[in-house]
């Protein structure tokens, strides 16, 4: 169980065809401070996201992690550890395109409690492993994101002639 008084470390990474996030927190084990996992999630990249550039995929990874781990993140102080410097620029982008603007708006509520720390990929191995071996984007994955809106099932058996012609 996490301690809400101690800050969290959110490791994010995208690689290959997946997104990976590892939420960690320093815990005291045998009188020594040790960073331990709180929650790990991953998912595959959707076909439309596969067309994004590397910095956009890493930014998507941050937005997705904040959305999925909202329970742990909201109101808590945390660091985002990433191997991509472009994620930090997402916060201060002057003229973002439409989807980057939506992402900027989505992370505004975390801005006061979040610090983005770019570090080398050697330090980010936990999230890297999750992104390389991402879980399939299927409904049995807790991090499932539907590819598109669910199809609407038409109601059969109702015709205009059944409604009637007299409206008033």
Domain assignment present for 155: yes
Largest CA distance in the chain: 81
Q: What is the mean pLDDT of the chain?
A: 76
Phi, psi of 101 (to 5 degrees): -65, -45
Task: Please check whether residue 3 lies inside any domain of the structure.
Answer: no
CA–CA distances in Å: residue 121 to residues 24, 130, 144, 146, 149: 16, 13, 26, 30, 35
Selection from 151, 143, 116, 156 nearest residue 9 by Cα: 116
- Residue 2 domain-assigned (yes or no): no
- Closest of 130, 4, 112 to residue 65, by C-alpha: 130
Percent of the chain surpassing pLDDT 90 = 0
- Three-state secondary-structure class, residue 120: coil
Angle at 9 between CA 92 and CA 75, to 5 degrees: 70
Which pLDDT score, from 0 to 100, does residue 160 have? 47
Report pLDDT digits (tens) over 12-48.
Answer: 888 878 888 888 888 877 888 888 888 888 888 888 8
What is the distance in angstroms between the CA of the first residue and the CA of the last residue of the chain? 63
Is 33 domain-assigned? yes
Kindly state whether residue 121 falls inside one of the protein's structural domains.
yes
In-domain check, residue 79: yes
Number of domains in the chain: 1
| Whole-angstrom distance, CA of residue 166 vs CA of residue 168 | 6
Range of the domain at 128: 8-163
**Residue 159 located in a structural domain:** yes
Q: Is the pLDDT of residue 153 over 60?
A: no
Indicate if the pLDDT at residue 89 is higher than 60.
yes
pLDDT attached to residue 85: 78
pTM: 0.73
Q: Is residue 1 part of a domain?
A: no
- ∠ CA 73-79-84 to the nearest 5 degrees? 115
- CATH code for position 90: 3.30.420.10
Weakest mean pLDDT among 9-18, 74-83, 106-115, 152-161: 152-161
């Amino acid at each position: 169980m996490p301690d809400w008084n101690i800050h969290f470390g959110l490791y994010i990474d995208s690689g290959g065809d997946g997104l990976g996030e590892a939420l960690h927190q320093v815990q005291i084990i045998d009188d020594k401070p040790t960073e331990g996992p709180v929650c790990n999630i991953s998912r595959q990249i959707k076909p439309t996201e596969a067309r994004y550039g590397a910095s956009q995929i890493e930014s998507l990874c941050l937005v997705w992690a904040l959305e999925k781990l909202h329970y742990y993140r909201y109101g808590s102080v945390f660091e985002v550890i990433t191997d991509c410097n472009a994620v930090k620029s997402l916060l201060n982008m002057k003229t973002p395109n439409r989807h980057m603007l939506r992402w900027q708006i989505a992370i505004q509520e975390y801005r006061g409690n979040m610090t983005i720390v770019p570090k080398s990929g050697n330090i980010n191995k936990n999230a890297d492993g999750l992104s390389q071996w991402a879980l399939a984007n299927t409904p049995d994955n807790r991090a499932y994101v539907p590819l598109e809106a669910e199809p609407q099932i038409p109601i059969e058996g109702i015709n205009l002639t059944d409604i009637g012609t007299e409206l008033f």
